[in-house]
Structure 1
Amino acid sequence: MSSHIDIAVNLIGSALESNIDTIIAEAESAGVSPLIVIGSDLPESRQAIEICQRFSGLLYSTAGVHPHHASTWQSDSYGTNRELCLHDCVVAVGECGLDYNRDFSPRDMQRQAFADQLKLAAELQMPVLMHERDAHDDFLAILKEYRPHLIDAVLHCFTGSRASLEAYLEQDIHLGITGWVCDERRGQELADIVPLIPDNRIMIETDSPYLLPRSMRPKPKSSKNLPKYLPYIADYIAALRGQDASQFARQTLANSRRFFRLEAAE
Structure 2
Amino acid sequence: MTLFTGTVGFYRQYRPGIPEEVAVVLDQAAPQARPRRLLDVGTGTGLVAESLLGRFDDIIAIDNDAEMLAAAESALRPALPSGSELTLIETTAEDFVPPAGWRADLVTICRAFHWLDQAAVLRLLDQQVTPHGAVAIFGDNSFWAADSSWKRDVRAVVQEFLGEERRAGAGTFNHHDRPYSEIMAESPFCEVEEIRVPVHRTWTADSVLGYLYSTTFAAPHLFGDRLGEFETSVKAALAEHSGDDTFPEDNEFLIRIGRRPQE
TM-score by length of 1: 0.31
**Structure with the larger helix share:** 1
- Higher RCO, 1 or 2 (CA under 8 Å, sep at least 6)? 2
Which structure: larger Rg? 2
TM-score, normalisation: structure 2: 0.31
